[in-house]
Amino acid sequence: MDFRKEQAYKEYVQRENELLRAPYNPELEFYTCIKEGNVEKIKELCHEPLGAKKGLGCLSDNPLQNIKYHFVVTAALAARYCIEGGLELTKAYSISDFYIQKADSYTSIKDISDLHYIMCVDYTVRMKNLRKQKVCSQPVAKCIDYIYDSLHTRITVEQLASYTKLNPTYLSKLFKKETGQTISGYIQDKKIETACNMLIYSEMSPAEISSILAFPSQSYFTEVFRKKMGITPKKYQITNFRSTDIGE
């Protein structure tokens, strides 16, 4: 059963984003992955050349100019989502300006497409680092990465202590001091964040998601979800399923 859960979770994380539209009408998943620092997923989503993406609209009859326009839109939206995720406003827009100016000087569609990949990964890596900016110690940083990679399992303090080779009590105090949250609270928050994305971007039911994310029961999952989100998982899914509203 644990193997099936792991496979289902990995398939969700690694699946090709067939629903991704052109940057002018983006699926939230792409920018949410940048915002959350999901480097592995962004590399997957950007493996295809920018000009070959399905649903890419025509913003100019000139192919080169068309790609440049789409590049600019991606840069602007990536900056916006990163700002929402905590990246300093001036930093986000200076990065955007740098890449837009660089793309503007290019005369090759391939070069712009390659730069698009570099830019998206750059933003995502910065957000991954940002989520750990308050973390001073290597053990807590390792815990955070372990948690993100293992949300499909039941994660315990003892597992993390063994992974970091620290006493469980000491690790718990260190984690709380550096993140402001208990280990169990942090894990729960990340599982609910992941559940929200799965409810929006997958065909899975709340029951399936509860099982994949290793909640003890669906009723407990619903209780925790409602407490954090103010709504049941099913209602959240009905309200937000594959929404493309970017909150203007």
User: For the segment 104-144, what is each residue's pLDDT rounded down to a tens digit?
Assistant: 999 999 999 999 999 999 999 999 888 776 667 889 988 98
The answer to whether the CB of 182 falls within 8 A of the CB of 172 is: yes
11: pLDDT confidence band, cut at 50, 70 and 90?
A: low
Domain spans in the chain, listed from the N-terminal domain onward: 17-130, 138-240
pLDDT for residue 1 is more than 60: no
Q: Is the pLDDT of residue 246 over 50?
A: no
Q: How confident is the model at residue 13, as a pLDDT?
A: 56
Query: Where does residue 124 fall: left (phi above 0), alpha (psi -120 to 50 degrees), or beta otherwise?
Result: alpha
Q: Please provide the average confidence, as pLDDT, over all residues in the chain.
A: 84
Least confidently predicted of 85-99, 211-225, 230-244: 230-244
The rounded distance, in Å, linking the Cα atoms of 50 and 52 is 5
Which fold would CATH assign to domain 138-240? Arc Repressor Mutant, subunit A (1.10.10)
- Residue 80 pLDDT exceeds 50: yes
Which is more confident, 51 or 71? 71
* Cα 29 to Cα 20: distance, rounded to the nearest angstrom: 8
The model's pLDDT over 40-56, given as tens digits with 9 standing for 90+, comes to 889 988 888 887 776 67
Half-sphere exposure of 123 (CA within 13 A, CB side): 38
Q: Which of 13-17, 88-92, 216-220 has the lowest mean pLDDT?
A: 13-17
pLDDT tens-digit readout, 167-214? 999 999 999 998 889 999 999 999 998 898 888 877 789 999 999 999
Q: How far is CA 201 from the centre of its chain?
A: 12
